[in-house]
Amino acid sequence: MRLILAPMHGLADHSLRNILTRLGGIDLCVAEFVRVTNHLLTDKTLLRTVPELAEGGCTRAGVPVRMQLLGSDPVCLAENAAFIAGLGAPGIDLNFGCPAPKVNFHGGGAVLLQHPEQIHAIVAAARRAVPKHIPVTAKMRLGLEDTSLTLDCARAIEAGGADEITVHARTRADRYRPPARWEWLARIRETVKLPVVANGEVWTPQDWENIRQVSGCDDVMIGRGAITRPDLMRRIKTGNEAMPWPELLLWVVDFYEQLCAKMDPRHAPGRLKQWLGMMYTAYPEAETLHRALRAERDPVMIGKILATVQA
């Protein structure tokens, strides 16, 4: 039974992966996607998105981070997958699920779910290009507008030689609206022989129990639930109660200090507020802190406010 941190563009970056994996309970991360167009990516581009490549392909806590690629050209994706594997990535994941209109307009992400034959070509090319000991996996949604091609897409991924498939149990048209269609995960498991990872609408330990029961999947990928409740994975693994806010606040401060050290400090306040805003539903204290910081843009002043709140 594995718990996997989902790739979330603009949310689960290197700094947050550092925090969440140190909190515990996460067995594997899939990084934010890197877009592949018509050229070979550079070390600089890859390290900007996945700095863990320079750290043995793992977070500070030792959790492996798979690289996710988004694109539609089998040849370019395969060439980049091979290059990334040579840099020491512990795995390559292929994105067939991103619902962003801009991404879909350019032929990437969920729009590929209309074309199972192209999905097969992409997976097969990447699998041929990457050494056998490095996993090549894929993440998909149930479809673009409907589920008419769901099983065909899953079969295409399997036939292409993928080692594993993660299924976000929604179509692109569903966006992120509940409920997720967990019953489709069971249908996909019955259709393909490769391991299926369940994903979608897991916010609590009880949701984790429920998605496993409905889907029959052992492994679960969690996205926004792990941002909202940063100790969710640890709670699932240990059965412990939720972390009290004063203890979690120490990790929030750690996160902010990392941001200030790694990026232009002017951008650090925005990322901090974004995370606090997502923790509202689980921690009322996060909303209080967010209100205190909302109008403040000076990184130094925000650091002082955090220090005061800790005291």
Q: Which residues are catalytic?
A: 98
- From the list 68, 63, 52, the residue with the least C-alpha distance to 20 is 63
Give the integer Cα–Cα distance in Å for 115 and 110. Answer: 10
Tokens coding 230: 């940063």
Tokens coding 226: 């792990």
| DSSP, residue by residue, 223-242 | SHHHHHSTTHHHHHHH-PPP
Widest Cα–Cα separation across the chain: 59
Tokens coding 148: 């008419």
Bridge-partner residues for 70, per DSSP?
35
Give the integer Cα–Cα distance in Å for 157 and 226. Answer: 27
Give me the residue label for tokens 């879909």: 104
Angle formed at CA 46 by CA 34 and CA 15, multiple of 5 degrees = 90
